[in-house]
Structure 1
Amino acid sequence: MLVETIPMWTDQRTMVNLRDVLTRFQPNDWRWRVEEFEGAGRFPGGVTWAEFDANVEAGAAVFDWDGIQQFADGLDQMIDGRIVATDANGAIMATIEALDSTEYEIVVNPVSGQPAAATH
């Protein structure tokens, strides 16, 4: 596994958001599942925070590549959470964890053929 840690705040004190983190990946056909989430912003389909939280708890907050980018575009901030990307066979290809508004940890399966976290 390849691991990259990205501070959530730059030296200029600007936030690095989830959308910025997703630029580490090439477009793909993975399923991106939000397993845990604490943050703020607009949620997909205009659902409320409570509805989105219920979807996360039920394992139903799942997106394709375009969907995870749209989700990220709607966020003001991801404080804590975990997003897991799997391939068509269910193998974990990447994990993104947001840790207490301080950093993101990206873990990538190098078998995926994606340059992802290790090359940026």
Structure 2
Amino acid sequence: MGELVEFWMHRDGVLIGLDRLISRVPENDWVWSVLEFDGIGHGPAGLGYAEFREVVSSSRQGYVMSWAQVQEYADEVAQCFDLLLVAVKDVDLLDSARFAAGDFEGCLLVITASDSTWWSVEVDTEIKELSALVADLRSRYGDG
């Protein structure tokens, strides 16, 4: 896919939350989808935690959102235990079975939270702003 940066979710006693990661992503008009979520907080559009998880798991395309909706969602999540959030140019590229098999071809950005321990951010380096995002995350949080 491109370039990958991984870093601890907790740094110097402070939680690096989804909202902090999303705030580093440049403005965009991409299609975003949550394909897996376990954590503390509310789902988008006022959905409760259990209801949001049900919607995510029952859809082949996950829970599809715009950039503005992703920003609002990130603000509502207090902590991610596990998360798979992807950005694509076209909704037709969303396929949870393909992503579950580790095939992220066509994704512009993949954000993964693992076991409330690690963040993983993988980007399509053909998008200039995303290469800058990786450099920014490395300078802020290190790499592994």
Report the TM-score, using the length of structure 2 for normalisation.
Answer: 0.76
In structure 1, the residue matched to 2:96 is none
What does residue 18 of structure 1 align with?
18
2:8 partner amino acid: P
- Any runs of at least 4 consecutive aligned residues in structure 1 with deviations exceeding 4 A, and if so which? none
* Corresponding position of 2:67: 65
- Indicate the RMSD between aligned Cα atoms, in angstroms: 1.5
**Maintained 8 Å contact 1:25/1:117:** no
Partner residue in 2 for 1:50: 50
SS in structure 1 opposite 2:10? coil
Structure 1 gaps of 5+ residues are none
Change (3 A) 1:86 1:25: same
Q: Displacement of 1:80 after TM fit?
A: 0.7
Number of corresponding residues: 119
Please list every run of 5 or more consecutive structure 2 residues that lacks an aligned counterpart in the other structure.
Answer: 94-105, 138-144
2:115 equivalent in structure 1:
100
One-letter amino acid of the structure 2 residue matched with residue 46 of structure 1 = G
Please state which structure has a larger fraction of its residues in helix. Answer: 2
- Segment of structure 1 superposing worse, 66-75 or 107-116: 107-116
- Matched with 1:110 is 125
